[in-house]
């Protein structure tokens, strides 16, 4: 037994030495082959390109964030391009109060959540209908879906506005924005129908047939089987609809006019006008329009620049979407991968 052990030990030691020598050899190898050099050069260029491109993409964001912390002196100073002398929080305070952030946030939230739900439910049903059933005229009707994607809302907005406000008596309400999403319309509603249809066309029929044989109703099959199977498309729909609705400023601007129902994106251009008005009135010594204290007003005149406040407001209003998206990003990209937008 001892002999066997000794032999094994010896062998093992030999192996170790051999490994060590290999490592040493590798370390001493300075003569790279041509292919390897080429590989490293290409890698280097690739990363350079990536960083370069990402700079272009990230530049507006950096610019926005940094500008939002600048005060008047920083703007005047030519030497400052990137980093301001000190962090100036006043911009954010002003932006939050003037934008009426709380109400704006909740209004945006209501519209975004309801519209996204609407798009998800309606377009999954409609897309399924178009994909599975060859009813008479389905090609023609699907053509209308495509047409509804292509036609800009701006072209038909006045008749729509007239329809909602005068025929349905929905003045200054969120319903004109929310209701169409439950019918497969609304902000790019056709696109989601299109996505769902393309996904279901390539899906095998067996699943639903099995459910049907087991006595599962149509609606139950839809929610229990089809939606989970199409989870990737659902994810894509949710993210796209969410981001577009949050950032939409056109429809809120048309349908909502009281400040109580203002969304965040809707409030931004108004904020700009408000700030200029306030500045003007302060300069002329008239304090009737100013809502904040005298101390703040003085600061406003001396130190605050309108651009910086605006940037702060933009940052604050984009922030919720950024946060939600950062949680969903991985699944979203995966979703697009597996949804595989097909023709």
Partner 1 sequence: MNGRIKILNKKIHVKNEYEGYLYILPWLIGTILFFCYPVYKTVVISLSRITTYTGLVTEWIGLENYKRIFTRDVSFLPNFITVIKDTFINIPLILVFALFIAVIVDKDIKWKGFFRGIFILPFLLGSGYIFKTVIGIEVDEGVTTVSQGINLPAPILAYMGARFTQVIRIFLDRISLILLKSPIQTIVFLGALQSIPVSLYESAKCDGATEWEMFWKITLPSLVNQILFNIIFTLVESFTDLSNPVIDSIMGAWFTDKNYEYTAAMGWVYLLFITLVSAIIFVIWGHMNKTKKEQY
Residues 22-51 interacting with partner 1 (rule: CB under 8 A): 46-47, 49-50
Q: Which stretch binds partner 1 (CB under 8 A): 27-35, 103-111, 182-190, 281-289?
A: 182-190
CA distance 243 to 264: 13
CB of 222 to partner 1, least distance (A): 9
- Cβ neighbours of 285 (radius 10 Å): 6
Q: In this chain, which of 193, 234, 309, 316 binds partner 1, going by CB under 8 A?
A: 193
The contacts of residue 264 (CB under 8 Å, 6+ apart) are 99, 101, 104, 105, 107, 108, 246, 317
Q: In this chain, which of 26, 29, 57, 284 binds partner 1, going by CB under 8 A?
A: 57
Neighbour-count burial of 130, counting CB atoms closer than 10 A to its CB (0-12 exposed, 13-18 middle, 19+ buried):
buried
CB of 172 to partner 1, least distance (A): 16
12 vs 59, which CB is nearer to partner 1? 59
CB of 250 to partner 1, least distance (A): 8
User: Does the footprint of partner 1 cover residue 204 (CB under 8 A)?
Assistant: no
127 within 8 A of 226, measured Cβ to Cβ: no
CB of 36 to partner 1, least distance (A): 17
Q: In this chain, which of 9, 54, 85, 291 binds partner 1, going by CB under 8 A?
A: 54
CB of 18 to partner 1, least distance (A): 32
Q: In this chain, which of 177, 211, 265, 275 binds partner 1, going by CB under 8 A?
A: 265
CA distance 301 to 204: 67
CA-based torsion, 115, 120, 121, 125: positive or negative:
positive
Q: Which stretch binds partner 1 (CB under 8 A): 22-30, 91-99, 286-294, 311-319?
A: 311-319
User: Does the footprint of partner 1 cover residue 281 (CB under 8 A)?
Assistant: no
Q: For 182, which DSSP code?
A: G
88 vs 235, which CB is nearer to partner 1? 235
User: Does the footprint of partner 1 cover residue 103 (CB under 8 A)?
Assistant: no
Location of structure tokens 């000190």? 86
CA distance 139 to 135: 9
User: Does the footprint of partner 1 cover residue 217 (CB under 8 A)?
Assistant: no
CA distance 242 to 188: 12
CB of 73 to partner 1, least distance (A): 17
Q: Which stretch binds partner 1 (CB under 8 A): 23-31, 58-66, 255-263, 289-297?
A: 58-66
User: Does the footprint of partner 1 cover residue 226 (CB under 8 A)?
Assistant: no
22 vs 319, which CB is nearer to partner 1? 319
291 within 8 A of 273, measured Cβ to Cβ: no
Q: Which stretch binds partner 1 (CB under 8 A): 27-35, 52-60, 88-96, 292-300?
A: 52-60
188 within 8 A of 244, measured Cβ to Cβ: yes
242 within 8 A of 321, measured Cβ to Cβ: yes
CA-based torsion, 168, 171, 176, 179: positive or negative:
negative
CB of 92 to partner 1, least distance (A): 15
Give the footprint of partner 1 on residues 117-176 (CB under 8 A). Answer: 122, 125-126, 128-130, 132-136, 138, 141, 144-160, 162-163, 166
Own/partner contacts of 252-257, CB < 8 Å, gap of 24 or more, are: 252/111, 252/177, 254/157, 254/161, 255/161, 255/164, 255/172, 255/173, 255/174, 255/176, 255/177, 256/172, 256/173, 256/174, 256/177, 257/172
Give the total of residues touching partner 1 (CB under 8 A): 88
- Cβ neighbours of 271 (radius 10 Å): 22
């Amino acid at each position: 037994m001892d002999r066997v052990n000794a032999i094994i030990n010896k062998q093992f030691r030999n192996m170790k030495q051999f490994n060590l020598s290999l490592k040493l050899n590798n370390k001493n190898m300075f003569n790279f082959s041509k292919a390897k050099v080429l590989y490293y050069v290409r890698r280097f260029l690739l990363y350079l390109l990536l960083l370069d491109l990402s700079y272009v993409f990230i530049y507006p964001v950096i610019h926005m964030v940094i500008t939002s912390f600048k005060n008047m002196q920083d703007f005047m100073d030519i030497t400052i391009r990137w980093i301001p002398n000190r962090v100036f929080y006043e911009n954010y305070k002003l932006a939050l109060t003037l934008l009426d952030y709380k109400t704006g946030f909740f209004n945006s939230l209501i519209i975004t959540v309801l519209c996204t739900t609407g798009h998800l439910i309606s377009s999954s049903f409609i897309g399924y209908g178009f994909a599975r059933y060859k009813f008479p005229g389905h090609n023609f009707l699907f053509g209308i879906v495509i047409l509804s994607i292509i036609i800009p809302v701006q072209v038909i907005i006045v008749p729509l506005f007239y329809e909602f406000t005068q025929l349905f008596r929905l003045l200054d309400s969120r319903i004109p924005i929310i209701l169409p999403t439950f019918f497969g319309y609304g902000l790019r509603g056709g696109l989601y129908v299109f996505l769902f249809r393309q996904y279901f066309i390539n899906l095998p029929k067996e699943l639903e047939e099995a459910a049907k044989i087991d006595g599962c109703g149509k609606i139950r099959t839809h929610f229990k089987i089809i939606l989970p199977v199409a989870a990737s498309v659902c994810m894509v729909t949710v993210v796209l609809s969410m981001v577009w609705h949050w950032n939409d400023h056109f429809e809120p601007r048309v349908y909502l006019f009281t400040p109580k129902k203002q969304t965040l994106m809707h409030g931004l251009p108004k904020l700009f006008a408000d700030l200029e008005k306030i500045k003007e009135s302060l300069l002329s010594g008239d304090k009737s329009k100013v809502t904040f204290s005298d101390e703040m007003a003085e600061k406003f005149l001396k130190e605050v620049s309108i651009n910086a406040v605006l940037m702060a407001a933009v940052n604050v209003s984009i922030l919720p979407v950024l946060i939600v998206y950062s949680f969903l990003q991985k699944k979203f990209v995966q979703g697009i991968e597996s949804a595989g937008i097909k023709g």
